[in-house]
Amino acid sequence: MEQPKISLDLILANLAEDAEKAQERVTKASEVLLSPLHTDLATTPYDMVWQEDRVKLKHYRTDVEKSVRTPLLVVYALINRETMLDLQPDRSVVKTFMNSGLDLYMLDWGYPTRKDRYLTIDDHVNGYIDGAVDFIRERTGTEKINLMGICMGGTFCVIYSALHPEKIRNLVTTVTPSSFDTSKGLLHVWMRAIDVDKLVDTFGNLPGDVMNMGFLLLNPARLMIDKYIGFFENMDNRAFVENFVRMEKWIFDSPDVPGETFRQFIKDFYHGNLLIQSKLMVGGKRVDLKRITMPLLNFYGQYDHLVPPEACDKLTKAVGSKDTEDICLDTGHIGIYVSSKTQREFAPKIVRWLMERDGAPAAKKKPAARLAEMMAAAKPAAKEAKGKGKAGKKPAAPRTRGGSAPADRTTGRESMEAR
């Protein structure tokens, strides 16, 4: 009989060692899971300074001297919550803005109810956003403010800037879809195929849970299996567990979307692709992108599976501004806001860009110094694609074993940063 290549004693010794390590991990995991966890979202202090219906305006408190005189209003999407920008203390876009001396306002869309079913894009853009902009202008005595939009909120900001250019000094768009004539990304394929009339006529407002299930089905293996395997493998790591819970709380905090807004968004954007052609009508007026003559900074993610680069990179060519810049970051849809890498690139770049277009106030040494430190700490991994009229160079796709890029390359927690 042939002797085994590995002795039985060695196999049993390894099994005993593995069992002992597993027991230690289970014991430590139970200690972590049974102890108090710090999983609060949006912990940066702010005041609610304005409200209309369900929509509220946050103004963040700070004792840092202003580095940019013009206040910044951030508009999030109607899907999920603006708390993404302040998800955890050490990776907070809000905190970076505050520490850099920005005067920061953020719109909180709240939770639509049945009475909001008939609200349209016109109501959101010419109603709520315009009301918040006018409030900030009056409160600060500023003729124009800076406007930053995120995803669908960025699309709303593009529309607003085209309709009200006299109120916007600088426009920043991040992972913002503006051209919907692409089949990159399963979401675009689905949205062109769905019967939006049947959905809205059935549900009224589109339920957040329905949208969440749709997002999970875009990549079920990763979002419904892989990320939970990752959780079980790291249950003994307190920081991992706390970040995992924060992300889960954010993902499943999904407000409904007003029915008529959803119907119009699917038909005019995904079906008609009207915005990028300057054919969109909002509030009885044509949204002419050539009226966007203010400076425009446009961010998007190379591996964004919801809003691929092809849906974002045509905006700067369509607007009337001569001061535009595209930046394609080496990340995905949410990683752009929460990964440790982009934390060193994304927010500091916005602050610096706004400072350059704002005029330097006399008392800006402290925040400027802090910003310089942040920029010095960041490696230039962002691929700044092009200024308008200049030859751009897109970032090269990273190599992987399979020969293709992962869907969302962020912090190594891809499964947690799925959306």
Residues 41 and 342 sit within 8 Å (Cβ to Cβ): no
Residues 333 and 175 sit within 8 Å (Cβ to Cβ): yes
> Which helix (H) or strand (E) is 21 found in, with range?
helix 8-34
Q: Using alpha carbons, list the distances in angstroms from residue 18 to 13, 24, 234, 343.
A: 9, 10, 16, 38
- Has 151 been annotated as catalytic? yes
Q: Give the list of residues 6+ apart from residue 295 with CB closer than 8 angstroms, or none.
A: 169, 170, 171, 321, 323, 324, 353, 357
Amino acid at 156: F
> Hey, CA dihedral for 346, 351, 352, 356, is it positive or negative?
positive
Q: Where are the beta strands (DSSP E) in 3-70?
A: 46-52, 55-60
Residues 200 and 260 sit within 8 Å (Cβ to Cβ): yes
- Considering 151, 157, 312, 328, which one is annotated as catalytic? 151
Cβ atoms < 10 Å from Cβ of 43: 15
Q: What is the set of active-site residues?
A: 151
